[in-house]
Structure 1
Amino acid sequence: MINLNGLKAVISVFIVFSIPAFAEPSETVDEWVAEALANNASLSAQRVAIEAAQAEVEGSDTWADPVVKYGIAPETLEGSNTVGHRFEVSQKLPWPDQLSASRGASEAGVRAARQDTLWQSRKLTASVKQAYARLWYSERAIELHHETRALVEQLVDITQQRLEYGQATQSELLRAEAELDALDAQLVELQADQARLSVSLIPMLGRRPQSSELVLHMPARTPMVADTLTGTQHPLIQAAEARTAEARARLDVAEANRRPVFTASAGYNSLWADESKRWILGVGIQVPLSGQRQKSAVRRATAEVSQRQWQTTQTHRDLLASIGDVKAAVNAGYDRLEILDHRHLPTQLAHWEASLSELAIGTGKLEDAIDSARQLTGVKLAREAVIRDLFSARARYEALRPMQQTTGVSN
């Protein structure tokens, strides 16, 4: 007869989570995030955009370059007469508020570029954490697959022993061995998925992750911002507000361009015989006759201000909706995990133990035991998937949460 006590001892070894015999070097998610923030090409390009915007500020409130004119009378180059020269320097005189508005627009562009970079950093951090969670889940799926195969191998051993005692059939043994073949084929797909996930990290990290152990800690259940949050200090909102300020400054520039443009000039003309007439000072004025071009520029700038204001409003609404969506996902994840840990997983574990014991004493069916092994793995995989999704949702929330919490919190 089969030794049930020894069998149960073997079962207890296979039902616990597997522990590697040799610990592999681990790569933490914080290391990945730091590496991505330092090496990501898209983020580096966004940082350069700040430098470009800052460079534009330096010349935004400077005067236009002066115009220097020089003329000479060719026929005076020969002969006894003095060579005739004419020299003139002219300078456009800008309105003071026109220069300040132009500088204000450029400074708003710098603020928008900085907030865009901060938002890009937040999104990149969330993406790296989500990729880390997916790759961790892929590793856990392979580990659980090996656990399932060990369980089925145990069924094969039991069926073979029962066959020797005339309590099982050859077809039952072949059925259990066929299940092992199916698991081996499934392993190939799991490993291919893991390889694809690893390669997908190259754009973020600049490299393919090394073969190492990934450690994913369960995120703590902490309060989150309320759905009625107003005045959010978030890079998305601040970037939108900066672009609105830039559009308003461009409108001020367009309004100033409707005014006359004055030009001051000074020159010397040696062609005048009377030396008192050679030095001249002048003032020029450029008056818009129809003003249609200037009116069109003002209308266009006014429309852009309105457009930016609506975009800011929509960005704020989208942010609140995204926060609410992530909160629902996080709360549902914690609730599902509690059910899996305290009810579903213990029940399924007990079902597997009962199925294996019944098969060993001849009162159970092989198909029921195989199905129980599959369901046990499925429950464990579901638990790991909840942790993966919960970690990813928390990463999205960290990207969406405000920098300064000005209102209440909500679970």
Structure 2
Amino acid sequence: MREEQRSRNIHYSTLNKQERNHSAYLLYSLRLISLLVLVILPFTTYAQSIADYQQEAAENNPELKSKYQQYLSALEESSIMGTLPDPEVSFSYFIKPIETRLGPQQGRISVSQMLPWFGSLRDQRSVSDIRAKASFESFQESRNRIFLQVEQTLLEIYELDESIRLAKENQMILNSLVELSLSRYETDRATQVDVLRAQIEEEDLNIQIELLQDNREVLLQRMNELLNRSESSKIILPDSLGETEINSREELMAQIQQQNPNLNRLRYQEASSKEMRSLAQKQNRPGIKLGVDYIFTGETDMPNVANSGEDALMVMAGFKVPLFGKKNNAKVQQSERNIQDVQFQISSRENSLQTELDASLRDYEDAQRKFTLYNQKQIQRITQAIDIMMESYSSDSSDFEEILRMQRKKLEYQLKRIQSRTVQHKAAAYIDYLTGKKNLNLNN
């Protein structure tokens, strides 16, 4: 009996040593795989950067093309508004000629031109030019917004790709833990509950990976929509997300005041309303009409008449008197209301932009703190704790459920580290959008 017990203890001791070696080998293999992945990634070549995709969207996006055509249409308005009205030409034929001393008048040609009050044409051209600039700012706002959508969508795809990669790495670890728990269960060194727990964690992770992959397909479809591509087109992402830098709040607020397309559009609308007010005031003044009449005269039957049959030339001047000025006064009042309306809009927009900037700065700083926490502290600590528990588990002095919980927590921290990095880049991209960092120069 003693020999049998001694033989059994030697057998268990041998198995225990083999299991420790097996656990150590699994941990070494997983670390080696992770190291190879990190080494290989920086050498992967990607075809397009975020800026490349933004440029492609600027060239192909239908909504942006529509906005640009509206701007080109507004440019043509200057040729319509800032010119004189068409001259009037008329021809009259006298069915019964009018007899005069020089002879019968047979026909008449009249040419006349209406001239608005001094400065009216200049105001009209100014209004059309300002409206064209406002239309350009509207186009620029749409362009910057699409740039933002492209960058944020790419960041979300990048986050999903990294999440899938980490989940699959964790899947390999859970698979190894399932094998380890099975081997220990077969030698009565673990309970069946340990095996079931590991299998449950593994299946839950499989479902999570499938959901991440489905979400990625939806984002790819959204990205191709922004680029006006077919759904089957591939999106090749940048290899990594670098560090981001932003200016101080004071500098960013100054940039918003100078460059934000929405603010500039409202300012142009205010200037346009002021020009419309000046134009409406000039319409209360008379217009001037100048004309020339040329009358055809036949030869007279009377003898010895000097200048017989000589045609007549007559110069004409007239005025358009604004007797009913109520409508023009209403236009002046309407322009005043429009000016006040736009001024309130500018004030409201400045307040909302300040709030949006502060919220983006908060998100940026919070994401930076979280990334530092997860990257430099939490993940290292929990990895160390898992290593210690795995060594203890080989000698049957640690709870297998706690190992699974810590492994799940490690994956959670790794995912949060990626999320904090992408949130930081999204916040920086939104700040660029608010400040109009990627504005086009109208003079180029």
- Calculate the TM-score normalised by the size of structure 2: 0.82
What is the letter of the counterpart of residue 286 of structure 1? Answer: K
What is the letter of the counterpart of residue 278 of structure 2? Answer: D
Q: Does 1:172 align with 2:197?
A: no
For the 8 Å contact 1:323–1:397, the answer to whether it is kept is: yes
Aligned-pair CA distance for 1:120:
2.5
Distance 1:41 1:224 in 2: 36
Q: Does 1:400 align with 2:434?
A: yes
2:37 aligned partner: 19
Identity of aligned residues (%): 17
> Which of 401, 410, 414 is residue 380 of structure 1 equivalent to?
414
2:68 aligned partner: 47
1:188 aligned partner: 210
- Sort the Cα spacing of 1:135 and 1:112 in 2 relative to 1 into closer, same or farther, 3 A: same
1:216 aligned partner: 240
Q: Tell me the alpha carbon deviations over residues 197-233 of structure 1, each in whole angstroms, 9 at most, x when there is no partner.
A: 1001123112255164542323234433328945821
Distance 1:45 1:389 in 2: 31
> Which of 149, 161, 165 is residue 183 of structure 2 equivalent to?
161
Q: Tell me the alpha carbon deviations over residues 322-370 of structure 1, each in whole angstroms, 9 at most, x when there is no partner.
A: 2222111111111111111222111222232233333332222332222
For the 8 Å contact 2:117–2:286, the answer to whether it is kept is: no
Distance 2:226 2:180 in 1: 49
What is the letter of the counterpart of residue 14 of structure 1? Answer: L
For the 8 Å contact 2:297–2:311, the answer to whether it is kept is: no
Distance 2:50 2:29 in 1: 30
More deviation, 384-393/361-370? 361-370
- Sort the Cα spacing of 1:17 and 1:192 in 2 relative to 1 into closer, same or farther, 3 A: farther
Distance 1:83 1:139 in 2: 92
Distance 2:344 2:191 in 1: 74
2:20 aligned partner: 4
What is the letter of the counterpart of residue 258 of structure 2? Answer: Q
What is the letter of the counterpart of residue 64 of structure 1? Answer: P
What is the letter of the counterpart of residue 69 of structure 2? Answer: V
What is the letter of the counterpart of residue 120 of structure 2? Answer: Q
1:254 aligned partner: 280
- Sort the Cα spacing of 1:392 and 1:73 in 2 relative to 1 into closer, same or farther, 3 A: same
Aligned residue pairs, count? 400
Distance 2:93 2:369 in 1: 90
- Sort the Cα spacing of 1:153 and 1:58 in 2 relative to 1 into closer, same or farther, 3 A: same
In the alignment, structure 1 segments of 5+ residues that lack a partner are 405-411
> Which of 301, 305, 309 is residue 335 of structure 2 equivalent to?
301
Distance 1:383 1:230 in 2: 32
- Sort the Cα spacing of 1:345 and 1:329 in 2 relative to 1 into closer, same or farther, 3 A: same
Q: Tell me the alpha carbon deviations over residues 262-314 of structure 1, each in whole angstroms, 9 at most, x when there is no partner.
A: 21122234489896794332222222223111111111111112212222222
Q: Does 1:359 align with 2:396?
A: no
For the 8 Å contact 2:45–2:239, the answer to whether it is kept is: no
Distance 1:253 1:356 in 2: 84
1:145-160 to 2 correspondence within 5 Å? Answer: 145-160=167-182
Q: Secondary structure in 2 aligned to 1:163? A: helix
Q: Tell me the alpha carbon deviations over residues 117-149 of structure 1, each in whole angstroms, 9 at most, x when there is no partner.
A: 333332222221111100001111111110111
Aligned-pair CA distance for 1:107:
1.1
Q: Does 1:28 align with 2:62?
A: no
> Which of 118, 122, 130 is residue 152 of structure 2 equivalent to?
130
- Sort the Cα spacing of 1:138 and 1:364 in 2 relative to 1 into closer, same or farther, 3 A: same
- Sort the Cα spacing of 1:105 and 1:36 in 2 relative to 1 into closer, same or farther, 3 A: same
Q: Tell me the alpha carbon deviations over residues 145-187 of structure 1, each in whole angstroms, 9 at most, x when there is no partner.
A: 1011111111111101101211123343233223322222222
Root mean square deviation of aligned Cα: 2.8
1:408 aligned partner: none
Distance 1:222 1:294 in 2: 51
Q: Secondary structure in 1 aligned to 2:234? A: coil
Distance 1:269 1:349 in 2: 106
Distance 1:276 1:314 in 2: 72
Aligned-pair CA distance for 1:196:
0.4
2:119 aligned partner: 97
Distance 1:150 1:228 in 2: 46
Q: Does 1:369 align with 2:387?
A: no
More deviation, 248-257/319-328? 319-328
Q: Secondary structure in 2 aligned to 1:326? A: helix
What is the letter of the counterpart of residue 7 of structure 1? Answer: S
Q: Secondary structure in 1 aligned to 2:119? A: helix
More deviation, 273-282/358-367? 273-282
- Calculate the TM-score normalised by the size of structure 1: 0.88
For the 8 Å contact 2:252–2:435, the answer to whether it is kept is: no
2:108 aligned partner: 86
1:335-346 to 2 correspondence within 5 Å? Answer: 335-346=369-380
- Sort the Cα spacing of 1:317 and 1:228 in 2 relative to 1 into closer, same or farther, 3 A: farther
For the 8 Å contact 1:333–1:387, the answer to whether it is kept is: yes
Distance 2:329 2:396 in 1: 94
Q: Secondary structure in 1 aligned to 2:333? A: helix
1:225 aligned partner: 249
> Which of 313, 318, 321 is residue 347 of structure 2 equivalent to?
313
For the 8 Å contact 2:293–2:315, the answer to whether it is kept is: yes
> Which of 56, 81, 90 is residue 77 of structure 2 equivalent to?
56
2:91 aligned partner: 70
Distance 2:264 2:425 in 1: 27
More deviation, 374-383/3-12? 3-12
- Sort the Cα spacing of 1:205 and 1:247 in 2 relative to 1 into closer, same or farther, 3 A: same
In the alignment, structure 2 segments of 5+ residues that lack a partner are 1-15, 98-102, 301-307, 439-444
What is the letter of the counterpart of residue 101 of structure 1? Answer: D
1:197 aligned partner: 219
